[in-house]
A = this chain, B = another copy of it.
Amino acid sequence: MTHKIAILGASGYTGAELVRLIATHPNMDIVALSADRKAGMEMAAVFPHLRHLDLPTLCKIDEIDFDAVDLCFCALPHATSQKVIKALPGNVKVIDLSADFRIRDPEEYAKWYGGEHDAIELQKEAVYGLTEFYRDEIKNARLVAGTGCNAATGQYILRPLISAGVIDFDHIILDLKCGVSGAGRSLKENLLHAELSEGYHAYAIGGTHRHLGEFDQEFSLLAGRDVRIQFTPHLVPANRGILATAYVHGDAQAVHDTLAAAYADEPFVEVLPLGEAPSTKHVRASNFCHLGVVADRIEGRAIVVAALDNLTKGSSGQALQNANLMLGEEETTGLMLAPVFP
């Protein structure tokens, strides 16, 4: 059975990544692609790398016949997303890739995103889209909130460790390095090749990055108490990839055992042997996440490193994984593409 798919906001990177992945999915058919300012254009004009595909012309959202849509990926900007999703007919399953439905508590949402939520009922209903930890809820959800790409990476490291209580909750530092596509296809000076290439720097330092909202919500829930981590993202001169280095207080062997057990049956999360560490280079353009644990020379401290591709496992690949679950497909369908190296 072929599922009819719409992608709203198809002119951005996560939209294009969805099309790339769905292109070889055997049971999905893209029936609508929207892009407000580029409505009327062919997708091949916006993304020439998709030229070989037979895709619908870009349209405005209100031109889409949602009766003929089974599932809708929403890759719109934050704040816009909630307005659009609120107006969708109730029969359409929705995966939102924006930040709009990640935070369940309206007050927390307001704190991190600076305003009242426009669709509070949906906010409560939405299921958090970190597949490996919300699998059952996702299967039955109508609305799934894709996670932040940094938030996903940090959680692959920390969720099992917090759940198992093998680390000190008051000393968790996450130093994260991400490629530039996470910032989207937006025209900002610091995203220019001439400004970024051959340079790297930290940003949103000191606890101001919005993905902390997700960390706080999820980790506190798991721990049964408030957990506040330190988190510093860095922009590095690469297009895809997130490398997260976590500094934790805990026994490295216990940390490794916990992660190995947690992900033993997961198709996309690979835990390396103790003492080895991953590289973003080895997960590029794939839905895999590699995790490594190394003991520090200081007893009782460990370093855990995670690598994934922000556009795939961190965003559009995760979304497709969730879509498979929501549509009754095998979770891995269309997602077993090997990483591209070199």
Contact of A234 among B52, B212, B245, B294 (CB under 8 A): B245
- On chain B, the residues within 8 Å of A192 by CB distance are 180, 185, 187, 191-193
Q: Is A175 engaged at the interface, CB distance under 8 Å to the other chain?
A: yes
Task: Give A191's nearest chain B residue, CB to CB.
Answer: B192
- On chain B, the residues within 8 Å of A241 by CB distance are 198-200
Q: Is A237 engaged at the interface, CB distance under 8 Å to the other chain?
A: yes
Q: How many copies make up the complex?
A: 4
Residues from 200 to 248 in A contacting B, C-beta threshold 8 Å: 200-203, 205-208, 212, 228, 230, 232, 234, 236-241, 243, 245, 247
Most buried by B among A16, A202, A280: A202
Q: Is A57 engaged at the interface, CB distance under 8 Å to the other chain?
A: no
- On chain B, the residues within 8 Å of A282 by CB distance are 47-49, 51, 199
Q: Is A195 engaged at the interface, CB distance under 8 Å to the other chain?
A: yes
| CB pair A191 B188 closer than 8 Å | no
| CB pair A338 B238 closer than 8 Å | no
- On chain B, the residues within 8 Å of A120 by CB distance are none
- On chain B, the residues within 8 Å of A281 by CB distance are 49, 195-196, 198-201
Contact of A341 among B49, B247, B279 (CB under 8 A): B49
Q: Provide the bound-state CA to CA distance between A297 and B228, in Å.
A: 9
Q: Is A1 engaged at the interface, CB distance under 8 Å to the other chain?
A: no
| CB pair B49 A298 closer than 8 Å | no
- In the assembled complex, the CB of A212 is this many whole angstroms from the nearest CB of chain B, namely 8
- On chain B, the residues within 8 Å of A33 by CB distance are none
| CB pair B193 A279 closer than 8 Å | no
Q: Provide the bound-state CA to CA distance between A245 and B233, in Å.
A: 10
Task: Give A26's nearest chain B residue, CB to CB.
Answer: B26
| CB pair A341 B24 closer than 8 Å | no
| CB pair A205 B277 closer than 8 Å | yes
Q: Provide the bound-state CA to CA distance between A286 and B298, in Å.
A: 35
- On chain B, the residues within 8 Å of A298 by CB distance are 207, 228, 230
Task: Give A175's nearest chain B residue, CB to CB.
Answer: B175
- CB-defined A-B contacts under 8 Å, sample of 30: A20-B339, A24-B336, A49-B281, A49-B341, A51-B270, A53-B338, A173-B247, A181-B194, A192-B193, A193-B195, A193-B239, A194-B342, A196-B281, A197-B198, A197-B238, A197-B342, A198-B284, A198-B342, A199-B281, A200-B236, A200-B280, A201-B243, A201-B278, A202-B303, A202-B305, A206-B295, A207-B296, A228-B297, A232-B247, A247-B247
